Every structure is written in structure tokens, then in C-alpha cells.
Amino acid sequence: MSRLDPEPILNVLQRLLGPEGCPWDREQTPHSLCEYLVEEVFELVEAVRSGNEGEITDELGDVSFLLFFLTELLSREYGIGLQQAWETSAAKMRRRHPHVFDNHHVATRDELLKTWERIKSEERESRSSTRKHAEKMASLPGSLPPLPKAYRIHAKAAQSGFTWGTGREQAEALHQEWGEWEEVRKSSDHSRKEEEFGDLLFSLVEQGRREGIKANAALHRANQKFLRRFEAALALAQERGLDWEGLSMTEKDRLWEEVKAQERQQGTCSGERGSGTVSG
């Protein structure tokens, strides 16, 4: 890995935050930058998933700039330095990877994860078992989006031994949540509907986790698939001189099925199954 030179970003920051700098930048605080950082991280994730090298470079630069910006403000307010943060992180990573840095042998991935959690526990001061398990949940970032947060909650609950014993038991729980959702759909109580729908999603996230699927990534893939097919269906209608707004749902669905058939022929979505307007 080539040696990194942060001077270009630091020079720009010093100019922006200086007496003759940008009024907007000079008004920022560590708290005000948090939302911008979260947004830029999402844009970086989107760029990585797109595979566009130019976008990845651009978004990685934006995230890096905001991290340096945030660090500069934290340094002024709390005396927290980036070098100190790097050294602390490096020491922590060396400590948590004894199989890499200390010739500690691990035979399986599960054993590796258990070692990781054991070392994290040892790093904390001696506390009661109940406190330790509570801290696992408390360590979740409050700003983490709901889907990845649900995944992390389930993962931490499993590490604490608080989950269904088998996949079948979890599937039965999911089926029960679906039944409760179906029952409440007949109600006019919006709050109750939202609650039961949330419970259903929460259980579905756990079923995916047990299969090695992250709900956020899976939903992103489904979103992209729908958008791709929808745009293709619109283009197909335009090619045929059809007014999309004037088409019936049956006619629109027929175009949708044509797009799906074309994808299968082209191998765009190999392995996908099912039919219907919004799935499969």
C-alpha cells in the first residue's frame, strides 16, 4: 500500500476554516457534520455497488474530506487528534486479530468470531454478565438505518444466546408474525398496523441473516431490479407508440412480463423466479 499524503486535504481545510475562508464551513460543528457524513457514506456505498470507478473515486474523496473536516473540528473542541485515533485503532485491530499478529491458530470462522467477541469483552472493565449483554445492544450507532440496525440487533442477540434454536422455529415465528399482520390489516388502527408490519419486517430480517443474507443489500438489489424493469417497460411502450398512462394494469403487466422474459434470455437475472408486477 502506497504511503498516504493528507496534506492536500489539510491545506484546503485550513484555507476554508481560516479567517478569510468559507462562512458556511466556519459555522459547522461536529454535530452538524454528522448528517452530511452519513449521506456521503451512503453515496459511497451506492458508487461501490455500481462498480463505476470514477464515481467510487469521487465519493471516496468526499467521505475522506468530511472525515478530515470532522476530525479538525473534534480536535479544536475536544483535543482529539487523527494520529491518536489511527494509533488507537491500529493497536485495537492488532489485539483483536491474534491469528494474524500473534500466530494464534483458529480453525473455523465461528471460532474466529468467538475469539473476536472474547477479546472485546476482555477489553472492557469487569462488569456483570447482564451489563455486558446490555452493552452489546447499546454499542449500536443510533443513526444506523433501520434495516442494517435490525440485522445487527439480531446478530448481537444471537451472540448473547437470545434467539430461536433452529431455523424451523424461526420460520414458525415468522409465520406467526405474518398471521398477526393479516389480522390487524382489517383494523382501522394505523398505529397497530405499523407496529405489526414492523414486527414482520424484523422477523424477516432475522430469517435472511440466518441464511447469510443482509436485508439492506437484498432490498437494494430488489430496488435496482424493479427500477431497471420499470424503465425497460416504459421504453418498450414508447417503442410501440403506446401511451403508458392510458394502458390498463393488465396491459402494463404484459409489458413487464416481456421485459422479464428478455432478461432471462439475456441472462441478466439468472436464477430469478416468480411472476407478478412487483416481485420475481
What are the residue boundaries of the structural domains of the chain, listed by start? 7-80, 88-123, 141-213, 217-266
pLDDT of residue 173: 93
Q: Find out whether 27 and 57 touch, Cβ atoms under 8 Å.
A: no
Q: What is the DSSP letter of 51?
A: T
pLDDT of residue 127: 47
Q: Find out whether 66 and 50 touch, Cβ atoms under 8 Å.
A: no
pLDDT digits (tens, 9 = 90+) for 233-268: 999 999 999 999 999 999 999 999 999 999 998 875
Distance, in Å, from the CA atom of 51 to the CA atom of 91, rounded to the nearest integer, reads 32
pLDDT of residue 135: 60
pLDDT of residue 276: 42
pLDDT of residue 271: 41
Distance, in Å, from the CA atom of 192 to the CA atom of 184, rounded to the nearest integer, reads 7
- pLDDT class of 279 with cuts at 50, 70, 90: very low
Fold matches, 7-80 and 141-213? yes
Range 7-80: architecture per CATH: Orthogonal Bundle (1.10)
From the list 216, 222, 178, the residue with the least C-alpha distance to 197 is 178
The C-alpha R_g of the chain, in whole angstroms, comes to 25
Q: Is the pTM of this model over 0.75?
A: no
- pLDDT class of 277 with cuts at 50, 70, 90: very low
pLDDT digits (tens, 9 = 90+) for 51-71: 999 999 999 999 999 999 999
Fold of the domain built from segment(s) 141-213: Helix Hairpins (1.10.287)
